[in-house]
């Protein structure tokens, strides 16, 4: 049995695009939590006088914020997709135009931090 059919067994319908976005959002939140824990560890090392650990803490904190922001944007995209489907789907021109506009606004909210410097 293929991996896809294994994943779908016991389900009536395959996961939607919005479900995939929600899973990705959750994964970004898990990564943000990992960065928060790393920041705390780096802070402890910085308190003990290890060089560069304060900078590593700062970068981990920035990464955690960036990952949380990304998770929020992706979750909002999932809701926008659900709204579009509920309003008639991509074949409904008004629903699709609103979805497209929301997508553009959400893309503008994506973090731009390169974590360099």
pLDDT tens sequence for the chain (117 residues): 444 444 555 567 788 999 999 999 999 999 999 999 999 999 999 999 999 999 999 999 999 999 999 999 999 999 999 999 999 999 999 999 999 999 999 999 999 888 776
CB atoms within 10 A of CB 88: 12
Q: What is the reported pLDDT for 12?
A: 73
Helix (H, G, I), strand (E, B) or coil at 112: coil
Q: What is the reported pLDDT for 2?
A: 42
Gap between the Cα atoms of 16 and 79, Å rounded: 12
Ordered alpha helix ranges (H), the chain = 3-8, 17-47, 53-86, 93-109
Whole-model pTM: value is 0.83
Q: What is the reported pLDDT for 26?
A: 98
pLDDT digits (tens, 9 = 90+) for 6-37: 455 556 778 899 999 999 999 999 999 999 99
């Amino acid at each position: 049995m293929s991996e896809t059919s294994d994943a779908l067994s016991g389900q009536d319908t395959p996961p939607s695009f919005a479900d995939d976005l929600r899973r990705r959002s959750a994964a970004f939140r898990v990564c943000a939590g990992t960065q928060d824990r790393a920041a705390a560890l780096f802070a402890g090392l910085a308190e003990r006088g290890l060089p560069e650990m304060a900078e590593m803490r700062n970068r981990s904190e920035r990464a955690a914020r960036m990952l949380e922001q990304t998770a929020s944007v992706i979750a909002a995209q999932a809701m926008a997709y659900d709204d579009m489907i509920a309003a008639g789907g991509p074949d409904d021109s008004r629903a699709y135009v609103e979805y497209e506009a929301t997508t553009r606004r959400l893309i503008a909210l994506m973090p731009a931090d390169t974590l360099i410097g």
